[in-house]
Structure 1
């Protein structure tokens, strides 16, 4: 009996190291391996203890506690050791040990600012997780998200709060398989080619003019002297994206959010923003219907609208029309669920992103009256009839207005629509990929946070933290200005960039022109403008607070 402790100890160490090696090299994507590793493996240690005379009430709890304590110690020790593949990359030790740290830092929505501080301290490449790097070196961007880059990273699995048994029905934005993504992207590219864009523009113009009328009515209503323009912009954006996706179905500008569509979408941002830091957590949450209730409610609305839309002839050529008529050659997924998932993508990705840029543009212009005056002068000079009626729409003309486009670019530089979520990883089964001079082993996630990159003084100076549209019109004319467009990625880059980029730019130009040609605005009296940036939260897209303004129709000259 003198040697009985050695045998249970050997069994414990063997099961712990085997489990650690297994999970490290063969990351499970199903529940069975996890159950075996977490619940079955400790049984061997328990049997060993029972064999050596330990009472069951002691042996069983001890086996599970000791196994998991030793497994946790083994994992942490390896992640902090010089033997880890990312050991040579600097970063806070606590982030090296577990993604629970970035989960925690994501709770307040200020992860972009945290990453910015990390890069200021550690340099261009920072280890922000056990197997994750954050990179703000513009020379490495083509190798990460460019045409010769990598497919989507594991955070996308963490954003799937609602279950799907058919990976073929994953929407374009969440598709990690590069071949499948390329197949899905073909239909999207055709759906956003020149002819469909003209169809969408008509939908846009109608809804934007409705926004202007609603704001005019709100501004004239003396019962509500102040207007939360961020709310109205969100209503417009949601209505327009429903028009785009399903040919209608939402009328928030007229009726308000009585069915809580906008509220569900905003409430549904938080949970995926957290679980994308710990992807396996999303798989567990999928088992509980209460989790992601807001996302499921929005999905139910989309399914309902898709059924209505598919049962009716096309009144106008919306996104549904173009996706159906560019049906994927697909034996892996049925067309209807695929169309629905991609239509939901259009509503969420298109609505929140453009609404945040538009609201931020309003904030920055009202914070900088000189820049606002210059914009209104440019608009008035271009369209003499601006102040007497609605804009005569000429998207090509708007695209050539230097100050308008400088305003938009500078807004997206400071507050990119997706602040930190551009993550990629080497293709599964390849073993890894060279990123410049760095070899990234398979299983390593690499992200490029636009919020940090866009504020890097190496690429944008002087005053990278300041709203200064002048940098975009003086580029190349002033040797003291640094503006490196290779580091400007508000729509991502490469084959997985924003499919609706051109439509988004048409929308941004048109709505900003419409608002500031028709209205004079200022911050509402007594409203603390500092609250705006304080209330911006990174929820993959940017979540917003109130933007209270006093709004009045401009007087004709």
Structure 2
């Protein structure tokens, strides 16, 4: 009997599955065609090879179904065994077995909005470096972090984009291409451009003050910060487009943005799932709605042209006489990034600042006194001339960012698959390793900050030498002693670091300072009677960005 007739098709299916897995893991792709070839072609070839044998293996359909089932089971078995084996490149890093096997565990926590909290618990159990996925790590060692900021971005943006093509600037992994796409953003968010944005920012802040002054009784501060941030984002990025502060949130744009972030957070864990969903008509509706809004804003701005030097003036190279405009898809991606980074993160941070102040009345009083010192009654707190000298204001902002960083897990990074390992002291990350350095965890680690869960702005003034630890104004929480005081600036990177840090840091800082100064200058805020502040943390969700919950306040004009 010929040898080929003696080979069992089950055995062949298993061998082919193991070979396919080890070929595929060296050449990973997000192409659905490649995935289909991997899953369906080997069983079909095996079925057609054995169907005409005289051994009686059955019909082609029967043999294909059997081969497909065996192939898939063998493929999954090979994947699981390899990821748990001592031969995996990340085998030496500790972590739960289920997380080593699949990113779907992380996707579950992303779906319920507790991704950062889950990572924090893992670090308590396993240490400073934890394996959080088959090929991913979480790192909270500041000495290693400082050496890893130059590593390129990971593939996380593919999922929310629901495509591996035409990625936004945030999703580009190639350092040279990223630097090229970032240049217009650098011009559009440089100091000269920010000075031009101060006028529309001041107009929006003054409108926010007037609208709040018109309100009677209780109001939801979270809602008003959301409407303000979307309006200013549209002014700054597109030269206008929304009037939520004036007309109300009729479009539900901010809620749509937050719903989109919840789905996008899942897709960052499993980018291939986002690509799959992108091929299903009607699926991923909140994300598609966000993409549609971005397309609409970009199209209207391009049709209208540049009446002012908004962000799109730079992104479209309108400031360069001899430069061609970028492809339209690039501008649409830039619009998505502007909407998310320019409104969602700023609104959430402003809400966090006010929440922290309202539950810490001594800090509230100290900051209000500083604002009154620099801007007495009759002065305009939207004038930025004193902001650099308002050290307690900056300490409050830093402390709120430390406790509630809007990008709670930070940006995902990936060691280039075809390059050398990334080395940070004794830590060696093999090529292809995906990792992140979560501010939510680092900033709440007692090794880096004393009393890490406490809102204590004075810690920043002590660390910078502006006040003494044993002074009255330090307001040191008992029972902390001076020799126990810990403050590691290297662990606080609220806007990222390195060549792919947050390009909008300077504008966001001006925006936060102006809003806080204007509102505390004009109003006296208090929380609604009977509201439990613990509801705020309980209802907060950790998606791609931190999603804040309702903060009910009552306010009255001071003058």
Q: State the TM-score, normalized to the length of structure 1.
A: 0.91
1:96 alignment partner in structure 2: 100
Answer yes or no: is the 8 Å Cα contact 1:239–1:251 preserved in 2.
Answer: yes
Shift of 1:524: 1.1
1:286-309 deviation per Cα after TM superposition (whole angstroms, max 9, x unaligned): 112313333333333333333333
Say which SS state the counterpart of residue 320 (structure 1) adopts.
helix
Provide the C-alpha distance between the structure 1 equivalents of 2:74 and 2:94, rounded to a whole number of angstroms.
Answer: 26
Provide the C-alpha distance between the structure 1 equivalents of 2:496 and 2:12, rounded to a whole number of angstroms.
Answer: 50
Say which SS state the counterpart of residue 269 (structure 2) adopts.
coil
Shift of 1:313: 5.2
2:344 alignment partner in structure 1: 352
Residue 78 (1) aligns with residue 66 (2): no
Change (3 A) 1:464 1:343: same
Shift of 1:184: 1.3
1:262-282 deviation per Cα after TM superposition (whole angstroms, max 9, x unaligned): 232122111111011011111
Provide the C-alpha distance between the structure 2 equivalents of 1:439 and 1:329, rounded to a whole number of angstroms.
Answer: 45
Provide the C-alpha distance between the structure 1 equivalents of 2:81 and 2:330, rounded to a whole number of angstroms.
Answer: 44
Change (3 A) 1:371 1:435: same
Provide the C-alpha distance between the structure 2 equivalents of 1:301 and 1:60, rounded to a whole number of angstroms.
Answer: 45
Shift of 1:47: 4.4
1:147-202 deviation per Cα after TM superposition (whole angstroms, max 9, x unaligned): xx2111021222212x475x3xx322122221111011122112122211100111
- Choose from 519, 526, 534 the match for 1:522: 526
Answer yes or no: is the 8 Å Cα contact 2:10–2:67 preserved in 1.
Answer: no
Shift of 1:429: 2.8
Answer yes or no: is the 8 Å Cα contact 1:520–1:553 preserved in 2.
Answer: yes
Provide the C-alpha distance between the structure 2 equivalents of 1:373 and 1:334, rounded to a whole number of angstroms.
Answer: 49
Which residues in structure 2 correspond to 1:160-179 (within 5 Å)? Answer: 160-161=161-162, 163=163, 165=165, 167=166, 170-179=167-176
Shift of 1:431: 4.8
Say which SS state the counterpart of residue 506 (structure 2) adopts.
helix
Shift of 1:448: 0.6
- Choose from 366, 369, 374 the match for 2:366: 374
Answer yes or no: is the 8 Å Cα contact 2:164–2:275 preserved in 1.
Answer: no
Answer yes or no: is the 8 Å Cα contact 2:155–2:171 preserved in 1.
Answer: no
1:151 alignment partner in structure 2: 152
Residue 339 (1) aligns with residue 328 (2): no
Provide the C-alpha distance between the structure 1 equivalents of 2:502 and 2:496, rounded to a whole number of angstroms.
Answer: 7
Answer yes or no: is the 8 Å Cα contact 1:420–1:448 preserved in 2.
Answer: yes
Provide the C-alpha distance between the structure 1 equivalents of 2:516 and 2:347, rounded to a whole number of angstroms.
Answer: 11
Residue 400 (1) aligns with residue 397 (2): no
Say which SS state the counterpart of residue 553 (structure 2) adopts.
strand
- Choose from 173, 181, 185 the match for 2:182: 185
Answer yes or no: is the 8 Å Cα contact 1:187–1:328 preserved in 2.
Answer: no
Change (3 A) 1:125 1:326: farther
Residue 55 (1) aligns with residue 58 (2): yes
1:504-553 deviation per Cα after TM superposition (whole angstroms, max 9, x unaligned): 00111111111111111111123222111111111111112211111111
Residue 298 (1) aligns with residue 290 (2): yes
Change (3 A) 1:175 1:326: farther
Say which SS state the counterpart of residue 199 (structure 1) adopts.
helix
Answer yes or no: is the 8 Å Cα contact 1:11–1:44 preserved in 2.
Answer: no
Say which SS state the counterpart of residue 161 (structure 2) adopts.
coil
Shift of 1:337: 3.4
Structure 1 residue runs of 5 or longer lacking an equivalent are none
Which residues in structure 2 correspond to 1:244-283 (within 5 Å)? Answer: 244-283=236-275
Residue 239 (1) aligns with residue 202 (2): no
Shift of 1:428: 4.4
Deviates more, 1:507-516 or 1:473-482: 473-482
Say which SS state the counterpart of residue 73 (structure 1) adopts.
helix
Deviates more, 1:408-417 or 1:59-68: 59-68
Shift of 1:48: 5.9
Answer yes or no: is the 8 Å Cα contact 1:144–1:435 preserved in 2.
Answer: yes
1:459 alignment partner in structure 2: 448
Residue 213 (1) aligns with residue 223 (2): no
Say which SS state the counterpart of residue 325 (structure 1) adopts.
coil
Change (3 A) 1:335 1:73: closer
1:446-475 deviation per Cα after TM superposition (whole angstroms, max 9, x unaligned): 1111100111112111x1111111111111
Change (3 A) 1:328 1:274: farther
Deviates more, 1:300-309 or 1:263-272: 300-309
Provide the C-alpha distance between the structure 2 equivalents of 1:142 and 1:472, rounded to a whole number of angstroms.
Answer: 20
Provide the C-alpha distance between the structure 2 equivalents of 1:140 and 1:329, rounded to a whole number of angstroms.
Answer: 43
Answer yes or no: is the 8 Å Cα contact 1:412–1:490 preserved in 2.
Answer: yes
Change (3 A) 1:38 1:326: farther
Structure 2 residue runs of 5 or longer lacking an equivalent are 470-481
Change (3 A) 1:228 1:22: same
Which residues in structure 2 correspond to 1:535-550 (within 5 Å)? Answer: 535-550=539-554
Residue 420 (1) aligns with residue 420 (2): no
Answer yes or no: is the 8 Å Cα contact 1:8–1:48 preserved in 2.
Answer: no
Answer yes or no: is the 8 Å Cα contact 1:257–1:263 preserved in 2.
Answer: no
Shift of 1:49: 5.5
1:438 alignment partner in structure 2: 427
**How many residues get paired?**
538
Change (3 A) 1:310 1:49: closer
Provide the C-alpha distance between the structure 1 equivalents of 2:9 and 2:219, rounded to a whole number of angstroms.
Answer: 70
Deviates more, 1:341-350 or 1:447-456: 341-350
Provide the C-alpha distance between the structure 1 equivalents of 2:35 and 2:327, rounded to a whole number of angstroms.
Answer: 33
2:318 alignment partner in structure 1: 325
1:63-91 deviation per Cα after TM superposition (whole angstroms, max 9, x unaligned): 22221111111111111111111000000
Change (3 A) 1:58 1:291: closer
Provide the C-alpha distance between the structure 2 equivalents of 1:396 and 1:242, rounded to a whole number of angstroms.
Answer: 25
Answer yes or no: is the 8 Å Cα contact 2:18–2:74 preserved in 1.
Answer: no
Change (3 A) 1:78 1:517: same
1:402-454 deviation per Cα after TM superposition (whole angstroms, max 9, x unaligned): 21111100000000010014210122432543343333222210111110011
Provide the C-alpha distance between the structure 2 equivalents of 1:291 and 1:314, rounded to a whole number of angstroms.
Answer: 35
Residue 21 (1) aligns with residue 18 (2): no
Provide the C-alpha distance between the structure 2 equivalents of 1:485 and 1:186, rounded to a whole number of angstroms.
Answer: 28
Shift of 1:107: 1.6
